Amino acid sequence: MTMRLPSVLRRLLSHPRGMVPAFYVPAIIVLCAIGPWLLPFGELHVDLYHRFLPPLGDGHLLGTDEIGRDVLSRVLMGGRVSLLVGVVSTAISTLIGTTVGIVAGYHAGLSRFLITTVIDTVLCFPVVFLLLTLAAVLHPGIGTIIGIITLVSWMEVARVAQAQTRIVRQQDYVTAVVAMGAGDAQVLFREILPNILPAIIVSATLNIARAILLESYVSYLGYGIQPPDASWGNLLNNAQEYLESDPWLAIIPGAVIVLTVVMFNLLGDALRDAIDPARRGS
């Protein structure tokens, strides 16, 4: 099932479940990247005369927060941080997970046992508990968040890579290539890697969704990105206090998180179906 890009794209865009996220994901990235430059209010601009403005109030499309900062600016700046955390931690954990997974999948034996044991150990801790402990123990900051999310995320990719590698390794043509005297490196890079890549890409897409969600949990609980810097999670930090009078302060940033995470998840699912149409509906 090698991937041919044009046909994959065509299949992806042929169904609304693929088309919608395929447009949303680039759109939200571009919006967060350039949006803050186009807005009249900086995300840290405090305006005590205009606190708690409702959405559409006085030139503020999404209103203002408890010290008069523009919510739209903060949502977009927060998006930069959240998306960055999601993409960078996914990139690192995909690299680690793929390497570890291939090693574990290619040769049975001690390395496979060690790797699966380590994975199982980490999975014994409920993820959020572990993330919060690490975040509280280490110095808070964007690098720390990326690091600890990577630490709990690479296993998922490693599992996929391991399972796929084992399948590909047992294929007849790979056995043939090995019988013809190909070295490990050649088999790994020319046969295994290209064939497990589709599954890795799908897994990475789903991983971005999870990373964004995890960042929002940690930052919401106060151990992630620290105020006044914005991230999608910490925008809801104080929102519960004002829930009665100003519910949009909680509802809007949360809705943006949900929408984005849903879209990345849908994109991952749609990519899986587009890459391997036979799997659809199973």
Binding site for other proteins (CB under 8 A): 17, 117-118, 120-130, 132-134, 136-138, 209, 213, 216-217, 220-221, 223, 233, 236, 239-240, 243-244, 247, 250-251, 254-255, 257-258, 261-262, 265-266, 269, 281-282
Nearer to other proteins, 92 or 151 (CB): 151
Given a contact cutoff of 8 angstroms between Cβ atoms, the answer to whether 207 and 93 are in contact is yes
CB of 223 to other proteins, least distance (A): 8
What is the nearest approach in angstroms of other proteins to the Cβ of residue 4? 25
DSSP-based three-state secondary structure for 15: coil
- Comparing CB distances to other proteins, the nearer of 34 and 118 is 118
| CA–CA distance, 184 with 264 (Å, rounded to integer) | 35
Nearer to other proteins, 59 or 227 (CB): 227
Q: Is 220 exposed, middle or buried (0-12, 13-18, 19+ CB in 10 A)?
A: buried
Of the two residues 140 and 187, which places its CB atom closer to other proteins in the complex? 140
Q: Which single residue is written with the structure tokens 């990475």?
A: 204
CB of 256 to other proteins, least distance (A): 10
Euclidean distance between CA atoms 210 and 226, whole angstroms:
20
Amino acid at 108: A
Q: Which is nearer to other proteins, 13 or 187 (CB)?
A: 13
Nearest approach in angstroms of CB 267 to other proteins is 11
* Least Å from the CB of residue 237 to other proteins: 10
Minimal distance in Å, beta carbon 242 to other proteins?
11
Q: Which is nearer to other proteins, 183 or 281 (CB)?
A: 281
- What is the three-class DSSP state of 60? strand
Contacts 24+ apart (CB under 8 A), 230-233: 230/43, 230/74, 230/75, 230/77, 230/78, 230/81, 231/78, 231/81, 231/82, 231/85, 232/75, 232/78, 232/79, 232/81, 232/82, 232/256, 232/257, 232/260, 233/82, 233/257
